[in-house]
Structure 1
Amino acid sequence: MRAFGCRKWLPALVLAHIIFGAHVTFGAHQFTPLGSGESASFASHYGSEMAEGGEGGSFAYRSEYDRSDEVQKHCKSHLTDLSSDASFRKDLETKKWAISNELSFLNGEWQEVSGNKPLMPSMSTFTNASNRLVENRGFRLASFWVTDVDVSSASSSQGNTVNVSAVLQVGVSTERSLSYMSSGLQGFQAYPGFALLSIVMEGVYAELRTGERLLCLLGSSRLPLRGKNSSQPWDWLDPVMNGASSSPTLVDDTQLKVVLHFPSDLTLMTRQVSGRLESLHDTSESLYFNPVDLFSQLGAYSNYLFQAGGMFNRACSNRDIQQGEILRPPSVYVGKAFCTVVQELLTGQWVDVLPNWNCTTSNDTCSKFGPFLYPKEEESAMMGGFNGSQLLVQDIRCVDYRESDGSYGANMSAVIRAVLSTQNKNLGFERSNLDSLTLATEGKWNSRSGELCMMGCRGGDKKPVCEMRICMFIPLILSLKQRSVLMGSISGLKASPEVFYPLSFHLGIYPLQLPADVVSSMSYEYTKTEEAKALRQEDDSSGVAEKIKKSLLEYPSVEDDVMKLFDDLSLRSLAITNPNSPKEPHRKQYIELDVVAIKDHVSLHWVQSSGYNYSIDTADFEKDGKKKAVDEEEPYNVAAELKVKDDLGNKVIALSAEGQYDSTLGRMYLVGCREVNVPWGTLKQSSEQLENGLDCSIKFKVEYPPTNARWLMNPTVMLTVTSNRSQDDPLFFTQMELETFPILYRRQREEIVSRKSLEGGLSMLTLSLILGCLISQLIYVKSHAESTPYISLLMLAVQGLGFSFPLITGVEALFARMTSDSEDMRDSVLNEGKWSHVIGYMVNLLTLAAFLLTVRIVQKVYRSRIRLLSRRPLEPWRVPNDRKVGAICLGIHILGFVTVLIIHTIRLSQRPVSSAMYMDWRGGLHRQYDWERILKEYYGLVQDLFLLPQVVGNHIWVVRGKPLRSLFYVGVTVLRLLPHVYDSLRPQVFNPYFADEFQYANPSSDFYSKAGDIAIPLLAVALAVVVYIQQRWNGLKWGKVLRQGSSKLMRMGSKMYERLPSKTFEAEMVESGADQLYDNGHIAVSTES
């Protein structure tokens, strides 16, 4: 062991990772962010110092400031109106932070001035190569970072300026943003759907008398070289966009100039950042490119100044309600924490736009997307309605205050951004430019009216167009036609030249985390109770089958806690379409069914994780903290939300529904309403048939599986959505039938958790007993050296692999935990506590100990065979060898596996060896073939029949003594069969998604079925009996019998002339005990005849 030196500690460190998930750091080497390596290469290319700094682990570029004369020459015209404030240099240390952070922006926009010499490819759209259709339109993005402020460079001779370093990145992207400084070796890089140009710069920061802040910079980069064809100068573009390994020719260019203008303060009218990137080359030179305009806005590090008092009064004081403008709901939020509530509602949430269903003016006016102006190439898409286009509220600044009369109020500003259906939502989420699809807003909220009224200014022009009014409310009464927690409208001012129909928007009720005081103030108003009763009566059957069903089967109901019913009736599950129509195509879809209200109880909190829904009701607590019980009156009035998405995540249908739930039959009968997103012409024709712009001619039925017969009935949920309209109606849709994957109720999840804990304890007990058997065998080996070579190494290898596989799986799980929140998600899914992790660690620790003991026994057996071979170098056939044993066992197991596979295929003749999808505990789908699954299960059978190699070896070799101790092979056999005994006695717990995680027995496995629980133990016991017989009447005793009967049948060591060993060698064998055989207490020395 000394020969291993310090290397023997390395496995221990790795095993610490396996067992405890410990974080081990070797020396000074640690994982670093991706940007670190990239920044180092960027520095090496440009020969500049890269220092860590900035936000989010970014890496800052610092220039050598060796181009000061050039900067003064080219920036002189911009610095003629410098501020003469004498405090500039005194306050420079304080301003350094503001310059570095306030003057940086992310994901702005760039626009190229017209000309025939573009800076880089536009690639404004991404085209699918398979069908050549535009899937989404990319954005021209620009990000800018001030990376260094050289305070020491400020001097009176240069005026109120200071040297700065910066990085500008301009790109075109359909997939990713420019939120981080991702520098590259070449300055320009292009991939399918993405192109990026990085420019490093140095220059000056200055403050002008007008209050404007200015940056004038000179930059250097490597630009792509244009071709001679002016119509298509980028001959390398098409191959790159199609994924080919083509790259443009890059040319160094140090003649780049950037000028950026920043307002001094962030207000409603002064928030835009503008600038220009241009080439200093002559227009006739090949490196010259058309000027590029840059646009963004002041970011999160700038303080907002509320000062739009006069404009606010113009928009919100003594106003007349226009047609289509939102009206105040009967009950709205008037609490004291408006800013907290509105930020919870709007931060990071997409706001849905409602169609102009009640517009009665011209088609041009009614089809407009509110005040937003979109490019001409989007007109065809927008004419089909607003379906897929959404609003995003960014940069929310809100300050609560209290009025002198005791009422509450708040000042709020924000940017409302429209993202069209053809644009990438993820990129739109991060953009910062102020174009014609944005509104900068500022306004007030007060608790007297509960209304937030704001003035809006549209971007995209040199001067913002401030002719819009935005109104919002937070309603507290929900109903079938009102399922919004925030609703509002955007309208033009009365005397405004902007002509458009008010654009209504709302925020759905989920998935949100509202403050408890808001939810506790909410109520639900049922309006379709009679229609739901009629649906239930239509489906009601008084037959014998229904009566038996009601008397024998149990369904989710209110017991002592309404929360269980909320939880059990809500769904997050995959589903299959057309389950009852074999001839119809079956497609996979994803269902989200959330129960909003049961009687007068409202629940709006959901934690979505891995296909399960946990609701937290904050509205059903009395002042004493006890939950109010729901009356046992049946059926219950219920309200729900349904969303169905296809396998690509696209919305198939979205319904709000209300009706009744009959807990005696496990059925919900609901009336549904859906938003109508159709072209304006169709909407106008059907407007009289709509209810508040909703199509409510829909009936919706949900059938739940019983809670007490999950082994007799398929535990799936059936959903049926039907339109009551005639087939020639433009709003008609075909009936939708869906069957979910098997589901679990809360009580069943609790049973799974308890079973996992029990099985973890049984695993610890079993492994502890196996350790005792292994230690017993190890002691036996030390005292029975003469029989040690006859222990099958293959048998020990099967056991060792069985112990090592869980450890290998543990390593994979460890890496998954290091890179995701998977462990927290799993705890929330099955509500496992920390105790389950302790059990898991103990099981891994015991498994490791069993593995090491097995390795030690292998080492003993291997060394004993080496010693035996060294003493009989001319007779290697006398030394036991596992080659023939392995060949025979392999043949037996191949034959067994093929037989099992054939039987399995016959049993599932309607689904021959095919691919199947299974869901892991994260909710992810994986593909697994039948033969792969059966192979994994068959290896469990190989472990159960671990004595097979020993039986074969005992038959082939001339076994001397008893290689295996009875306690070892009988004890391990019994312990290996314990899972089968447990599985046959334990009532089955249905666990469709997590069956592979049972630590003790997998009830879904063919080999842990009832037949397997009988057949496998019989085979294992038979092998143990054979080993006992072989060791009880081993080769020597049979040899004695055979010698007494007929010497012809006696096994001979050799059929040829053998050279006798020398007396010295014979004496060594006697002294070592290698040839000593213990027979009935007497020592017999083996001799050859």
Structure 2
Amino acid sequence: MSGQIWSNRALNDTGYFGRILFRSTDNEVLKVPGLKYEYTEMEKVRNMSCLQKKPLRNSLEKYPDGFSQEMNFGISVKISRGKIAWGHAVPIAVDDQISQLSESFISWSSSSTTSSVVESNISSSKPLNISYKISLRPYYYLKLGGVESLFNISSSGERRVAIFAEGVYDSETGVLCMVGCRDAGLKYQKSSNNSMDCEISIHLQFPPLNAMTKGGFIRGSITSLRNKSDSLYFEPLFVSATSYYRILERRSIWRMDLELLMVLISKTLACIFAVLQLLYVKKHPDVLPFISVLMLAILTLGHMILLVLNFEALFFQNEYPHSVLLGSGGWLEVHEVIVRVVTMVAFLLHCRLLQHSLSRRMRDSSLKALWTAEKKALFLTVPVYLAGALITLFVNWRTSKTGIMAQSFSYNNHQHSLWGNLRSYAGLILDGFLLPQILLNIFHNSRENALCRFFYIGLTVVRLVPHAYDIYRAQNYVQEFDGSYIYADPAADIYSTGWDVAILFVGLLFAAIIHFQQQFGGRCLLPRRFRKLEVYEKIPETSEE
């Protein structure tokens, strides 16, 4: 939709203003009787190389029909340096009929809609003319460099692009070849004739319908046909898209069931390790004062926060679309109730462990040195935690100031909000739960076996396995298109390839330090001159006697 605004006043009149051009790509498409789509760029499509090179056809492989729901897909876009943007592609028209998959499709007659689809499916074996709207939005924190010209900068500072494309889809080979047009932006609109950039080539290859073992990803590219010296030229984009195949939907349901099972196992293991620690301190009560109270408080608060969030989800289930999106029914809710119960048990067990440690410290007045060491550990860790929280707040403020945060998927919104960022940071603190115990051992120079090996090694593994799983999941699923993650939830911790590797390394390092401290002393890893500090003993004053 495009237009102009101009003034009818005389040129020398004070109210006169120059001609203003405007364009909107957020059109609504109404499905009304007799409405046809007219193609205008098909001459360019016939000359494209992707139509000239026919891929080898395997008679056993079947590709999506041009009228099926598989033609609606999400997109992850990257350049040679890595991922830069995400979005979605929705058909506007197939042949000359407005597509029912269009995001703004409104049907006036269900009967006419059904008949048109049936008629179209009869001739679906031949190559079909097809029109798409491809919406892309870059990640808010990236510098776009060679693709900056692709994304329009709106008055709010939001970077995005809508590419309207026309082309041909061959259901026998799964090849989609199109020419795209996009709004060139106001700064390029010197006249109404050059306000659109239609020098964009789009080539996509759909996977076969039985592509479960191959990941089910659509592969392709979006390239500019302009010269590199042109101001509208942009660097080639490599597309990895996920179509909503039924087989992939079943795969997502299977993944969700697996993640629910992994959550249940991890919570159960946390309970078992807490029970083993309780049995250990019951058998060796002398080690109770040497357990860091701050560490136990962090673990207890971590389970308490999870309980609060889970009960919030229980009362606001409409905001959690797992079963709605994937049709998993009530089985998902049953699993979540079980997880809440196990989390409650883990919370109570850690509360009991914290109570034992505190009561023993309170009863024994000879443990002032331990209280002093605990305070030193507290004074060192709390500023570190506060500094991390302030950095998180600063990053959230900078993100909010730019006004270009992602808005399409619920967990992305949650993660980039203030509460979401703080919740992720709290997950990072839980990943390093052994830090207070390490500092307590250093300040007190303790070599007591305060922690059962099953406890500190087991809980470390429970905290690190989600990060290892996230690395695996990133290689097998397109994260930007799925807000149904239950295990290794991106809103509950900091997850990315770099952070996952760093957290795995630091977590294993902390567990190894605790092991050596309990074997050789709290300062065993420090340089030799710091291992033994001078201490002074107060003796009674000498008397004449």
Which one of the candidate residues 908, 914, 917 is aligned to 2:405? 917
Which one of the candidate residues 447, 465, 475 is aligned to 1:978? 465
1:1055 matched to which residue of 2?
Answer: 537
Q: CA-atom RMSD, angstroms?
A: 6.3
Output one character per residue of 1:436-476: Cα deviation in whole Å (capped at 9) or x when no partner.
Answer: xxxxxxxxxxxxxxxxxxxxxxxxxxxxxxxxxxxxxxxxx
1:566 matched to which residue of 2?
Answer: 71
Structure of higher CA gyration radius: 1
Asked if 1:850 is matched to 2:346, the reply is yes
| 2:456 partner amino acid | Y
Residue 919 of structure 1 aligns to a residue whose secondary structure is coil
Which structure has the highest helix share of the two?
2
Which one of the candidate residues 155, 158, 169 is aligned to 1:661? 169
| 1:536 partner amino acid | V
1:1000 matched to which residue of 2?
Answer: 488
2:91 matched to which residue of 1?
Answer: 595
Asked if 1:777 is matched to 2:277, the reply is yes
Residue 660 of structure 1 aligns to a residue whose secondary structure is strand
1:336-485 aligned within 5 A: none
1:746 matched to which residue of 2?
Answer: 244
1:718–1:1005 distance in 2 versus 1, CA, 3 Å = same
1:805 matched to which residue of 2?
Answer: 305
2:438 matched to which residue of 1?
Answer: 951
Which one of the candidate residues 296, 306, 313 is aligned to 1:796? 296
2:454 matched to which residue of 1?
Answer: 967
1:607–1:943 distance in 2 versus 1, CA, 3 Å = same
Residue 661 of structure 1 aligns to a residue whose secondary structure is strand
1:715–1:795 distance in 2 versus 1, CA, 3 Å = farther
Separation in 2, partners of 1:967, 1:622: 63
Residue 409 of structure 2 aligns to a residue whose secondary structure is coil
1:527–1:978 distance in 2 versus 1, CA, 3 Å = closer
Asked if 1:767 is matched to 2:252, the reply is no
Contact 1:563 1:617 in 2 (8 A): no
Q: Which runs of 5+ in 1 are unaligned?
A: 1-351, 356-379, 389-506, 515-521, 581-587, 610-615, 673-681, 687-694, 723-733, 906-910, 1039-1048, 1060-1089
1:1015 matched to which residue of 2?
Answer: 505
1:619–1:773 distance in 2 versus 1, CA, 3 Å = farther
Separation in 2, partners of 1:764, 1:608: 40
1:677 matched to which residue of 2?
Answer: none
2:185 matched to which residue of 1?
Answer: none
Separation in 1, partners of 2:500, 2:409: 26
Contact 2:253 2:326 in 1 (8 A): yes
Separation in 2, partners of 1:669, 1:810: 47
Output one character per residue of 1:200-228: Cα deviation in whole Å (capped at 9) or x when no partner.
Answer: xxxxxxxxxxxxxxxxxxxxxxxxxxxxx
Which one of the candidate residues 31, 47, 52 is aligned to 1:538? 47
Output one character per residue of 1:999-1040: Cα deviation in whole Å (capped at 9) or x when no partner.
Answer: 32659834665743752354144134225425xx799xx9xx
Output one character per residue of 1:101-138: Cα deviation in whole Å (capped at 9) or x when no partner.
Answer: xxxxxxxxxxxxxxxxxxxxxxxxxxxxxxxxxxxxxx
Residue 918 of structure 1 aligns to a residue whose secondary structure is coil
1:490-569 aligned within 5 A: 509-510=29-30, 528=39, 532=42, 534-540=43-49, 558-559=63-64, 562-568=67-73
**CA offset at residue 617 of structure 1?**
7.4
Contact 2:168 2:176 in 1 (8 A): no
Output one character per residue of 1:328-378: Cα deviation in whole Å (capped at 9) or x when no partner.
Answer: xxxxxxxxxxxxxxxxxxxxxxxx9x99xxxxxxxxxxxxxxxxxxxxxxx
Separation in 2, partners of 1:766, 1:1057: 54
**CA offset at residue 715 of structure 1?**
8.0
Which one of the candidate residues 829, 835, 839 is aligned to 2:331? 835
2:145 matched to which residue of 1?
Answer: none
1:602–1:945 distance in 2 versus 1, CA, 3 Å = same
| 2:357 partner amino acid | V
Separation in 1, partners of 2:38, 2:405: 42
**CA offset at residue 764 of structure 1?**
0.8
| 2:439 partner amino acid | V
1:703-742 aligned within 5 A: 703=202, 718=222
Residue 757 of structure 1 aligns to a residue whose secondary structure is helix
Separation in 2, partners of 1:1014, 1:716: 34
Residue 882 of structure 1 aligns to a residue whose secondary structure is helix
Separation in 2, partners of 1:783, 1:655: 69
Asked if 1:865 is matched to 2:361, the reply is yes
**CA offset at residue 1056 of structure 1?**
0.8
Q: Which one scores higher on RCO, CA 8 angstroms, separation ≥ 6?
A: 2
**CA offset at residue 790 of structure 1?**
1.3
Output one character per residue of 1:941-998: Cα deviation in whole Å (capped at 9) or x when no partner.
Answer: 5433322322332343375853222222222223223224434555432212657955
Separation in 1, partners of 2:457, 2:364: 28
**CA offset at residue 814 of structure 1?**
6.0
Separation in 1, partners of 2:484, 2:402: 19
1:667–1:941 distance in 2 versus 1, CA, 3 Å = same
1:976–1:878 distance in 2 versus 1, CA, 3 Å = closer
**CA offset at residue 660 of structure 1?**
2.2
Contact 2:178 2:201 in 1 (8 A): yes
Residue 405 of structure 2 aligns to a residue whose secondary structure is strand
Separation in 2, partners of 1:957, 1:999: 38
1:715–1:920 distance in 2 versus 1, CA, 3 Å = farther
| 1:952 partner amino acid | L
**CA offset at residue 863 of structure 1?**
0.8
**CA offset at residue 788 of structure 1?**
1.1
1:618-633 aligned within 5 A: 618-619=114-115, 631-633=124-126
| 1:971 partner amino acid | G
Identity %: 20
Contact 2:90 2:101 in 1 (8 A): no
1:528–1:862 distance in 2 versus 1, CA, 3 Å = closer
| 1:966 partner amino acid | R
**CA offset at residue 540 of structure 1?**
1.8
**Count of residues paired in the alignment:** 456
Separation in 1, partners of 2:46, 2:516: 68
Residue 406 of structure 2 aligns to a residue whose secondary structure is strand
| 2:379 partner amino acid | A
1:28 matched to which residue of 2?
Answer: none
1:1029 matched to which residue of 2?
Answer: 519
Residue 964 of structure 1 aligns to a residue whose secondary structure is coil
**CA offset at residue 737 of structure 1?**
8.6
Contact 1:787 1:959 in 2 (8 A): no
Contact 2:441 2:447 in 1 (8 A): no
Separation in 2, partners of 1:792, 1:655: 58
1:537–1:1011 distance in 2 versus 1, CA, 3 Å = same
Residue 802 of structure 1 aligns to a residue whose secondary structure is helix
Separation in 1, partners of 2:481, 2:223: 21
1:743–1:528 distance in 2 versus 1, CA, 3 Å = closer
Which one of the candidate residues 740, 743, 757 is aligned to 2:257? 757
Which one of the candidate residues 362, 365, 378 is aligned to 1:886? 378
Q: Which runs of 5+ in 2 are unaligned?
A: 5-15, 106-111, 137-151, 183-190, 525-531
Output one character per residue of 1:737-794: Cα deviation in whole Å (capped at 9) or x when no partner.
Answer: 9999986432467655543432221011111011111122223333432221111111
Contact 1:595 1:641 in 2 (8 A): yes
Contact 2:295 2:434 in 1 (8 A): yes
1:780–1:704 distance in 2 versus 1, CA, 3 Å = farther
1:822 matched to which residue of 2?
Answer: 319
